[in-house]
């Protein structure tokens, strides 16, 4: 087991269930990633990912957008304050694990080539929300034969796009309900995210 000082500090941003955060926490705890989750931030108070962080003894911070938009402050100010929130934890990498807010340059310039996003579709397919449901519908309409997941770097404000770190295909079966496909996609994501982080952290990404 590495000493805590030797572990690479990660910040993980979540908006929801946090199953991918859990995959990272578990991989860190098992020594499969030479990293530690130093802080978790959510833009949604009820995000279960915050509870997962607390259960793992990781600082869990809530950073809501609404006070900014209703108070006449810009998204850029929200993003700059998000960077300020992370700063004390000195993350080497920022992982967007189900983070449903497009980050602007006001945040990204603090972490050039150090922000990683996970998306439940292949590059160029179904960017934005409900990607799995759209893939499921596209399959049923005969438009695609399968789907996949990807991990990519986030250099700019493009939605779910950027230099690809890793992809994995996901099979769609004719009998799949949306829930079946979601379960298969998430299982693939949990594995791909950890392996992609391992290659990035070891400089092989």
User: Interface residues with ligand GAR (CB under 6 A)?
Assistant: 14, 16-20, 49, 97-98, 118-120, 131, 160, 186, 189
Q: State which residue, 19 or 125, has the beta carbon closest to ligand GAR.
A: 19
| CB 63 to ligand GAR: min, Å | 16
Tell me which residues are annotated as active site.
119
| CB 205 to ligand GAR: min, Å | 18
**Which three-class secondary structure string do you get for the chain?**
CCCHHHCEEEEEEECCCCHHHHHHHHHHHCCCCCEEEEEEEECCCCCHHHHHHHHCCCCEEECCCHHHHHCCCCHHHHHHHHHHHHHHHCCCEEEECCCCCCCCHHHHCCCCCCEEEEECCCCCCCCCCCHHHHHHHHHHCCCCCEEEEEEEECCCCCCCCCCEEEEEEEECCCCCCHHHHHHHHHHHHHHHHHHHHHHHHCCCC
| CB 21 to ligand GAR: min, Å | 6
| CB 1 to ligand GAR: min, Å | 26
Q: State which residue, 90 or 122, has the beta carbon closest to ligand GAR.
A: 122
Q: State which residue, 90 or 195, has the beta carbon closest to ligand GAR.
A: 195
Q: State which residue, 10 or 14, has the beta carbon closest to ligand GAR.
A: 14
């Amino acid at each position: 087991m590495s000493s805590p000082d030797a572990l690479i500090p990660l910040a993980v941003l979540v908006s929801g269930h946090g199953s991918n955060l859990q995959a990272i926490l578990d991989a860190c705890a098992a020594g499969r990633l030479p990293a530690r989750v130093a802080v978790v931030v959510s833009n949604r108070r009820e995000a279960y990912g915050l509870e997962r962080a607390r259960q793992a003894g990781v600082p869990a911070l809530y950073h809501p957008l609404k006070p900014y938009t209703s108070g006449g402050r810009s998204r850029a100010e929200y993003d700059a304050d998000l960077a300020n929130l992370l700063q004390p934890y000195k993350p080497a990498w920022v992982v967007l694990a189900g983070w449903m807010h497009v980050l602007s340059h006001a945040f990204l310039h603090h972490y050039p080539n150090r922000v990683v996003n996970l998306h439940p579709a292949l590059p160029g397919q179904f960017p934005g929300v409900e990607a799995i449901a759209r893939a499921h519908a596209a399959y049923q309409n005969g438009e695609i034969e399968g789907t996949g997941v990807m991990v990519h770097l986030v250099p700019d404000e493009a939605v779910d796009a950027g230099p690809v770190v890793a992809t994995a295909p996901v099979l769609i079966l004719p009998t799949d309900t949306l829930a079946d496909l979601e379960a298969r996609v998430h299982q693939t994501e949990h594995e791909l995210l950890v392996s992609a982080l391992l290659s990035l952290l070891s400089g092989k990404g």
